Amino acid sequence: MDKNLIRRLVKGQKPFKRQIQDLLYEICDDVHSSCDRRCPVNVINGGPVNPTEDNCGCACFKNGKAMYDFIRSKI
């Protein structure tokens, strides 16, 4: 996890959009194509987004911006 993100949160500051996107990418990289409950996109969508073989099972696969945009669209 980004140490600067932790510092911002501890100080009560909002994280930068890019920091959130990077964190989402890291989550996806850890989960990989398992697409399980550790992924916030999977939790919100109830599974992968538009699953196809071309995108390793999820339209947001290893794409922090796509994950961020998807989550924002559901809030």
Q: Give the domain range for residue 54.
A: 3-74
Q: For residues 53 and 32, which has the higher predicted lDDT (pLDDT)? A: 32
Does residue 56 surpass a pLDDT of 90?
no
pTM of the entire structure?
A: 0.82
Per-residue pLDDT tens digits for 2-51: 788 889 999 999 999 999 999 999 999 988 767 888 999 999 999 888 87
Residues near 13 by Cβ (< 8 Å), separated by ≥ 6?
none
Nearest to 58 by CA among 40, 75, 74, 21: 40
Mean pLDDT value across residues 61-68? 94
> Given pLDDT bands bounded at 50, 70 and 90, which one contains residue 53?
low
Q: How many domains does the chain have?
A: 1
